[in-house]
Amino acid sequence: MMGESSLAFILFCLAIILIWQAVAEAGFWPDYIFPSPAGVLFAIIHGIGDESFLHGTIASLKRMALGFGLALMIGVALGVGISQSRLLERTLGTLVLGLQTLPSICWLPLALLWFGLNDKAIIFVVVMGAVGSITMAISSGISNVPPIYVNAARTMGARGWSLFSEVIFPAALPTMVSGARQGWSFAWRSLMAGELLYVSAGLGLLLQMGRELNDINQVVAVMLVIMTIGFLIERLFFTTIEEDVRRKWGLGKRKA
Amino acid sequence: MKKARKVAMAPERGAVEISIQGVWKEFLMKNGRLSALEDISIDVRKGEFLCVIGPSGCGKSTLLSIIAGLTTPERGRVLIGGKEVKGPGRDRVVMFQESALFPWLTAIQNIEFGLKMKGVREKERKGLALHYLGLVSLERFGNSYIHELSGGMKQRVALARALAMDPEVLLMDEPFAALDALSRDQFHKELQEIWMKTGHTIIFVTHNVSEAVCLGDRVVLFTYRPGKVKEEFCIEYPRPRESRGAPKLDAIESKILRELEVEYARYREEMLHDGRV
Ligand SMILES: Nc1ncnc2c1ncn2[C@@H]1O[C@H](COP(=O)(O)OP(=O)(O)OP(=O)(O)O)[C@@H](O)[C@H]1O
Ligand SMILES: [Mg+2]
């Protein structure tokens, strides 16, 4: 099953590369406007060889790890608070929902004014990208725990912290994991936007450098790297955890 | 002045374990109040097997929830072993109408859950859980997750989880309602055997008359909304009883069935008249 679909995907990629190569060779556009697969491949090999991709990736992932870690901590605290108090739900909960409609890159100018031209500003944008989804997922996960689980646990003597850690938390976990995945993907998009606008190391810088040097092969190569890393973390890491949890919980596949 | 009320109580001697005293329960609805339970008084003796029967919506689950300490009544109180119920306690365990097993735990971990809350140490816990898993003949499925079990197996795990708590009182809310007739007969046999060994005080809610007659020392029939004790039937017949075929039990069964029919007629009438269920 899996083998069949990955085979189909590989064939699909090969076909695209062949068509791409054919169009590039036909020479409708000069090669500084339309890159060729070979040129991009060379840029990738070059980027790997001089370790610029590695350092860029490490710089970006460090920011992600820091920002996402902070967002997790803040999101869990806010989410638990909102789920426990009607008042917080109506005030803070509504505010978080409202802020979620603001693309988090819009925080960058403010962050630059607050923190100056440094990493703090960009990490702030990452935090703002992830924290809303995480908060909402934690609070809705907790408030939608079926009361029957809580009641059953209470008749078996679960109280306070043990009720939370042994019943409410695991019951809400599938929703929380989905929220974390969504938070990560928002944060990743904001980070890339941030690194393009305010340039200092990272994959966004490499992309921007490609443009400044008029090196279209480098631009496309970095785009492929960004896509691959996004795919690996979002699809493989988070989605695998999410599906594992859902399978174990007997929930079946998530739609779409 | 309290008015004298009829208290349903088994004739045999023995200490009263559960004393339900003048319990009333109302729910606030959009279009007014709904009186679910009205002046319920029942005494249950230690080790008695009491069945509560009544039409759908007469407040059976509500009563169990009050005894469990999960719902507070508007009036009246419940005493367990002489102490007033103020909240949930380990002396009472509920086997809920719908499956309340935890899907994130395996069968054996579900059984261990209550023991863990009780503070039983891990080693001891495993042994006890295995014992109760054996009692419901599910040794081979200890490591299965709940969604991997059939409906009947789930109810077995739920029973084992309740028994593992070793409570004084076992509150069972239509635990076998969703099972086929043959599995239910098997459950009836096993439950009686377990109960005869352990001597729990059981309140068993059902709307299946033959089940009530097969299991109960006594059957209390509720009226349809508001739920009131309409009649009680003592069933003196040797155990373990078969689910079918005893003429004396059949006679009681048809008597109860006739009474229940009357309540169901009221239920249907009310549904026709104001569309409420
Ligand atoms: N939390 C609640 N809020 C409002 N109404 C409720 C609530 N719980 C129960 N009721 C109402 O109280 C009545 C009794 O409900 P209950 O669940 O106790 O019935 P039951 O006898 O267990 O029925 P069934 O045999 O169908 O399980 C019903 O009419 C129901 O609508
Ligand atoms: Mg019920």
Contacts of B104 in chain A (CB under 8 A): 170-171, 173, 248-249
ipTM of the complex, rounded to two decimals: 0.84
Q: Is B62 in the pocket of ligand 1 (CB under 6 A)?
A: yes
Cα separation, B106 vs B148, whole angstroms: 9
B58 within ligand 1 shell (Cβ under 6 A): yes
Question: Which residues are placed with Cβ below 5 angstroms of ligand 2, an ion?
Answer: B 61, 97
Residues of A with Cβ-Cβ distance to B96 under 8 angstroms: 148, 151-152
CB atoms within 10 A of CB B144: 15
Q: Would you call B61 exposed, middle or buried from its count of C-beta atoms within 10 A (0-12, 13-18, 19+)?
A: buried
Judged by a CB distance cut-off of 8 A, whether residue A235 touches chain B is no
Cα of B96 from ligand 1 centre, angstroms = 13
Higher pLDDT, B270 or B2: B270
pLDDT score of B7 more than 80:
no
The chain A residue lying nearest B158, using CA atoms, is A152
Could you tell me if residue A3 is inside a domain? no
Q: Quick: pLDDT tens for B161-213.
A: 999 998 989 999 998 888 888 888 888 888 998 898 888 999 999 988 888 98
CATH number at residue A159: 1.10.3720.10
How buried is residue A60: exposed, middle or buried, by Cβ count under 10 Å (0-12/13-18/19+)? buried
Q: Name the residue of chain A whose CA is nearest to B166's CA.
A: A156
Q: Are strands B8-9 and B49-53 parallel, antiparallel or unpaired?
A: unpaired
Confirm whether A55 is domain-assigned.
no
DSSP B75-123: EEEEEETTEEP-S--TTEEEE-SS----TTSBHHHHHHHHHHHHT--HH
- The domain total for chain A is 1
Q: Which residues of chain A have a CB within 8 Å of the CB of B161? A: 156
Q: Which ligand 1 atom sits closest to the C-alpha of B65?
A: 18
Q: Mean pLDDT for chain B?
A: 85
User: Any CB–CB contact under 8 A between A115 and chain B?
Assistant: no
Asked, for residue A25, whether it belongs to a domain, the answer is no
Ligand with the closest atom to the CA of B264: 1
DSSP state of A107: G
Return the beta strands (E) in chain A as ranges: none
Mean pLDDT of all residues in B96-124: 90
φ and ψ at A201, to 5 degrees?
A: 55, 175
pLDDT at residue B238, rounded to an integer: 81
- Compare all CA atoms of chain B with the CA of A150 and give the residue at the minimum distance: B100
Judged by CB atoms closer than 8 Å, whether chains meet at B100 and A171 is answered as no
Radius of gyration of chain B (CA): 19
* Res A19: pLDDT: 93
Ligand 1 centre and the CA of B259: distance in Å? 21
Dihedral class, residue B48 (left if φ above 0, else alpha if ψ from -120 to 50, else beta)? beta
- For chain B, the residues whose C-beta falls within 8 A of a C-beta of chain A are 65, 68-70, 87-90, 92-94, 96, 98, 100, 102-105, 113-114, 116-118, 145-148, 161, 165
Specify if A136 maps to a domain. Answer: yes
Cβ atoms < 10 Å from Cβ of A252: 10
Write the pLDDT tens digit of every residue in A198-217: 767 889 889 988 888 888 99
Instruction: Give, to the nearest 10 degrees, the angle between helix A119-143 and helix A169-197.
Output: 160
Contact B118 A149 (CB under 8 A): no
pLDDT at B275: 53
The residues with which B205 forms a beta bridge, in sequence order, are: B52, B173
According to DSSP, residue A105 is labeled: G
What Rg, from alpha-carbon coordinates, does chain A have? 22
**Structure confidence at residue B177 (pLDDT):** 85
- C-alpha B48, offset from chain centre: 12
Rounded CA gap, B234 and B219, in Å? 6
- Residue A12 counted as domain residue: no
- Confidence class of residue B17 from pLDDT cuts 50, 70 and 90? confident
Structure tokens at A204: 């966004």
Neighbours of B16 (CB within 10 A): 18
Q: From edge to edge, which strands make up the β-sheet containing B8-9?
A: B8-9, B32-45, B16-29, B75-80, B83-84
Is any atom of ligand 1 closer than 6 Å to the C-beta of B219?
no
At residue B1, does pLDDT exceed 60?
A: no
Closest chain A C-alpha to B150 CA, distance in angstroms? 13
The whole domain housing A109 covers 61-83+92-248
Q: Is B2 exposed, middle or buried (0-12, 13-18, 19+ CB in 10 A)?
A: exposed
Taking the Cβ of residue A154 and every Cβ of chain B, the question of whether any pair is shorter than 8 Å is answered with: yes
Integer Cα distance of B209 and B54 in angstroms: 9
Q: Which residues of chain A have pLDDT under 70?
A: 1-2, 199, 253-256
Q: What is the pLDDT of residue A256?
A: 43
Rounded to whole angstroms, the Cα distance separating B33 from B184 reads 37
Query: What residue type is B197 in one-letter code?
Result: K
Neighbour tally for A46: CB within 10 Å: 14
Backbone angles phi, psi at B21, to 5 degrees: -120, 105
**In this structure, what DSSP letter does residue A214 have?**
T
Model pTM score: 0.82
In this complex, do A156 and B96 lie within 8 Å of one another by their Cβ atoms? Answer: no
Cα separations in angstroms, A159 against A84, A234, B165, B202: 15, 36, 16, 25
Q: Bridge-partner residues for B35, per DSSP?
A: B26
Q: How much is the pLDDT for B3?
A: 43
Distance of alpha carbon A38 from alpha carbon A24, whole angstroms: 10
Closest CA–CA distance from residue A162 to any residue of chain B (Å): 8
Domain-embedded: residue A239:
yes
Q: Is residue A181 part of a domain?
A: yes
In a domain, A18, yes or no: no
| Contact state of A249 with B104 under an 8 Å Cβ cutoff | yes
